[in-house]
């Protein structure tokens, strides 16, 4: 599902952030990408999802070349960036409805899909509260729901459990395991904590 060939990123002509990376992530895998601050996790996710161009090498997602087939690739992937922007004045439900319209989901289906996602990430009771009142854990769960709107086959999550307490981490793990085991979604997740990755990937 995710394949890289000699992927490399050099910033400012002289700083090698990612060296010759060859990854192979299978369908239905949960792949934990571990490394300390500055190791190149975010740089890698940005290259894998086509947000930045690699200096060398290439990325193939679900058989598609990310550089030459960017628009098609977008239909198959969902991405939760390291610092995801939220429209604070919207309620959780409005936020998901808004992104559903961006993805071209028909008006009739938007409400149904939004309710389904809110339930999956356990936010149905907070659906009509504005995001500025959401805790960090609630925001991360809403962010994960947003990545799933168009039913992607692969999702990329950049440190989704960062700053969460043990319960918040467990909530995210539960959602990810459900997605993987029940829906067959391939998951690429980064963290700087071995324990986080271990629990999710070995479950």
Q: What is the DSSP letter of 148?
A: T
Q: Contact between 47 and ligand ATP (CB under 6 A)?
A: no
Is residue 49 a contact point for ligand ATP (CB under 6 A)?
no
Number of residues that bind ligand ATP (CB under 6 A): 14
**Cα–Cα dist 20/165, whole Å:** 35
Q: How far is the CB of 6 from ligand ATP (least distance, A)?
A: 18
Binding mask 56-85 for ligand ATP (x = CB under 6 A): --------------------------x---
- Tell the residue number behind the tokens 């060296």, with chain if given: 19
Instruction: Tell me if 8 contacts ligand ATP by CB under 6 A.
Output: no
37 binds ligand ATP (CB under 6 A): yes
Contact pick of 10, 23, 34, 39 for ligand ATP (by CB under 6 A): 39
CA-based nearest residue to 25, from 56, 64, 60: 60
Each residue of 82-106: b (16+ CB within 10 Å) or e?
eebeeeeeebbbbbbbebbeeeebe
In the complex, least distance from residue 51 CB atom to ligand ATP, rounded to whole angstroms: 11
Residue 156 CB-half CA count within 13 A: 24
Does 110 help bind ligand ATP (rule: CB under 6 A)?
no
How many CB atoms within 10 Å of residue 165? Answer: 12
Q: Which of 188, 86, 198, 197 is nearest to 145 (CA)?
A: 86
Q: Which residues bind Mg ion (CB under 5 A)?
A: 41-42, 82
Q: Give the interface segment with ligand ATP, choosing from 23-31, 35-43, 68-76, 113-121 (CB under 6 A).
A: 35-43
Provide, rounded to whole angstroms, the least separation between the CB of residue 40 and ligand ATP.
Answer: 4
Give the Cβ contact number of residue 64 at 10 Å: 17
Residue ranges that bind ligand ATP, judged by CB under 6 A:
11-12, 15, 17, 35, 37-43, 82, 192
């Amino acid at each position: 599902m995710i394949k890289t060939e000699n992927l490399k990123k050099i910033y400012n002509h002289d700083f090698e952030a990612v060296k010759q990376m060859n990854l192979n992530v299978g369908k239905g895998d949960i792949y934990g990408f571990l490394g300390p601050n500055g190791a190149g996790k975010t740089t890698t996710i940005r290259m894998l999802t086509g947000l930045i161009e690699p200096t060398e090498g290439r990325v193939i997602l679900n058989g598609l070349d990310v550089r030459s087939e960017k628009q098609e690739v977008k239909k198959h992937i969902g991405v939760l960036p390291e610092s995801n922007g939220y429209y604070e004045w919207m309620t959780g439900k409005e936020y998901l409805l808004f992104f559903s319209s961006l993805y071209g989901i028909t008006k009739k289906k938007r409400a149904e899909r939004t309710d389904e996602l809110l339930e999956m990430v356990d936010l149905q009771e907070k659906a009509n509260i504005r995001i500025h009142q959401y805790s960090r854990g609630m925001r991360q769960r809403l962010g994960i729901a947003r990545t799933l709107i168009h039913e992607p086959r692969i999702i990329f999550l950049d440190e989704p459990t960062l700053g969460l307490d043990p319960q918040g981490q467990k909530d995210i793990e539960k959602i990810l395991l459900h997605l993987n085991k029940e829906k067959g979604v391939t998951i690429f997740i980064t963290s700087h904590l071995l324990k986080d990755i271990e629990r999710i990937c070995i479950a």
